[in-house]
Structure 1
Amino acid sequence: MLSFTRQAGTVLLVALILVAGVWASWGSAQHVMLTKGRERGTMTVTRCADSTCTGSYAPLSPGSRPRARVVIDRSIAEKKGTRVPVVVKPGTREVVRAGAPGFFHAWVPLGGALLLTAVVIAGGLQRKRLAWVSAGAGGLLLTAAFVTVTF
């Protein structure tokens, strides 16, 4: 009975971590993946602070309007003068990176959750293969995000 309770608790913990990873990722991922009807364009980075970068927005999609100042979360590739394809979050000045770099960057929290669940699966459930699959998927997702955002 104790073994079943421990396994059930571990499975619930793994599910909670994965749901949290998807939840944290979905805030940005929805704008990158579901672009129909959203404003798309390019942002020219003019200034970066600790956690955000600001710049001007030039529209590419019909119905989108230019903006003098938009804000994007800072990642490793933004430098002054860089032009970044973006999608505008409706009703805000916030933008998210578009295309493959935006897709992978949005799912970084899920990649971290997959790495964390690998440790829980290996230690709590004693399922080494499943733990390696989880770690591999998380590592692949984080590597893809790093490569696409950097280059």
Structure 2
Amino acid sequence: MVRSSTKRSRVRRAGESAFGLLLLGRNLLMAAVALVILVAGVWTSWGTAQYSMLTKGRELGTMTVARCGEKSCTGPFVATGTGGRDRRKVSVDEAVTHREGERLLVAVKPGTDEVVRTGWGGVLHAWVPLAGALMLAAVVVAGGLRMRRTAWGLGIAGVALMGVSFAVL
């Protein structure tokens, strides 16, 4: 039995290993970019979500929407419970309300006159930045990492979270 074994040259072997390192570097970079996008989405969402979700010990009450501007709505705040005080004017993000005269269950951000909607609508609205991050990360995972099924899962999760949020509000 005759074997014909041809050895690859050192230059070819070095070129193959360098190309493998470039592919590995690209995959690591794309994974890092996707991870940074997701962490930024969670970080941004948590800034509001903590007041919507963790209401124990917070100043809770009802806000009646009196006037709406381009980005926020204002109105009086009536505290419910013993830990809060009534306020003449607080502001809430315009996206969480539909019309003037609406009464919202809210929590006051400590040290400010800003309120955050509580309940399912407020919690889901607080996580909308994460939904956007999921959709953006899906593009990076599909294009950069070539993981199409994972990308579809991320994208569908982002669209579902955003859709449910707007349906509940």
Q: Which TM-score band (shorter chain)?
A: over 0.9
Q: Which amino acid aligns with 2:167?
A: V
Report whether the alignment pairs 1:147 with 2:160.
Answer: no
Aligned to 1:4: 24
Which segments of structure 1 move beyond 6 Å, counting only runs of 4 or more?
Answer: none
Which residue of structure 2 aligns with residue 35 of structure 1?
A: 55
Q: Distance in 1 between matches of 2:22 and 2:74?
A: 54
- The CA distance in 1 between the partners of 2:41 and 2:96, in whole Å, is 21
Q: Which residue number in structure 2 is paired with residue 97 of structure 1? A: 117
CA distance in 2, matches of 1:61, 1:78: 26
Counterpart residue identity of residue 46, structure 1: A
2:72 to 32, 52, 67: 52
| Structure 1 spans left out of the alignment, 5+ residues | none
State the distance in 1 between where 2:91 and 2:97 align.
15
When Rg is computed on C-alpha atoms for both structures, the one with the higher figure is 2
Confirm or deny: 8 A CA contact 1:45 1:78 kept in the other structure: no
Q: Deviations over 1:61-82 (max 9, x none)?
A: 2221111100111106331100
Letter in 2 for 1:5: G
Alignment of 1:2-151 (within 5 A): 2-75=22-95, 77-149=97-169
Distance across 2 between alignment mates of 1:111 and 1:74: 19
Question: 1:144 is paired with a residue of what secondary structure?
Answer: helix
Residue deviations 1:27-84 (CA, integer Å, cap 9, x gap): 1001111111101111000000010100011111222111110011110633110001
Q: State TM-score, norm by structure 2.
A: 0.86
Q: Secondary structure at the match of 1:75?
A: helix
Identity of aligned residues (%): 50
The normalised TM-score by structure 1 is 0.96
**Alignment RMSD (CA, Å):** 0.9
Q: Give SS of 1:86's match.
A: strand
Matching residue's letter, 2:51: H
Contact in 2 for aligned 1:53/1:78 (Cα 8 Å)? no
